[in-house]
Amino acid sequence: MRTVIALSLLAATAAIARAEVVILEPEPPPPETPFDRGKFSLGVYGGSQSMLGERYFGLGAAVGYFVLDGVELGLGSQFLFGDGPNIGRLTPSLRYVAQPLVARSPVVPYVGVFYNHWFIGDGLADVDTAGARGGLIYVSGKLLLGLGVAYERIVSECVTDCSSVYPDFTIALSL
């Protein structure tokens, strides 16, 4: 029995000695995406809307910073002008973009939340709203094009039409 064990150990030692040593190479890092930690995004927007019974035209800009991969803190502002009082808006936001999917598809989903403070002129009360958004972003290099839906609800004093649903468009550059 000792002979069988000794021969088995000898055979195993010889097999290990002949085995090739495989050196594992580290995996290459994943490709960079516009949603990586430390990246910035810049956006501009404009359009028209009805508010306070008047037609307004608006121009705005936003900046975002990705504090984690796929997690963006943003701040936007907009100025509306028209026949009624001038209106300004300040919008902090938080958005998650499914950053790991960028390597597999040029279209990735996003979800987010936001808060708006509307500065209303002519002595009218300011308005506060909160909302959520979700949709898809198409990634083409540094250009981001998105389409989704947003839900917004007035959280300050509200009499009628306290919530709204509208399209959420994204046109931004990643830096």
Tens-place pLDDT, residues 16-62: 555 555 667 787 777 889 999 999 999 888 888 887 788 899 999 99
* Residue 133 · residue 111 · CB < 8 Å: yes
Number of structural domains, the chain?
A: 1
Examine residue 65 and state whether it is found in any structural domain, yes or no.
yes
Examine residue 12 and state whether it is found in any structural domain, yes or no.
no
Examine residue 165 and state whether it is found in any structural domain, yes or no.
yes
Confidence (pLDDT) at 12: 57
Per-residue pLDDT tens for 108-156? 999 999 999 999 988 889 999 999 999 999 999 889 999 999 999 999 9
How far are the Cα atoms of 13, 76, 141 from residue 93, in angstroms, in the given order?
63, 8, 24
Confidence (pLDDT) at 3: 65
Examine residue 10 and state whether it is found in any structural domain, yes or no.
no
Examine residue 19 and state whether it is found in any structural domain, yes or no.
no
pLDDT band at 9 (very low <50, low <70, confident <90, very high): low
Per-residue pLDDT at 13 exceeds 70: no
Examine residue 31 and state whether it is found in any structural domain, yes or no.
no
Ramachandran sector of residue 80 (left: φ over 0; alpha: ψ -120 to 50; beta: rest): beta
Supply the CATH number for residue 119's domain. Answer: 2.40.160.20
Examine residue 2 and state whether it is found in any structural domain, yes or no.
no
What are φ and ψ of residue 164, in 5° steps? -150, 155
| DSSP H helix total and E strand total for the chain | 1, 8
Per-residue pLDDT tens for 73-102? 999 999 999 888 999 999 999 999 999 999
Examine residue 17 and state whether it is found in any structural domain, yes or no.
no
Give the range of the structural domain holding residue 57, as residue numbers without chain letter. 40-174
Confidence (pLDDT) at 28: 78
Which pair of structure tokens corresponds to residue 90? 């300040």
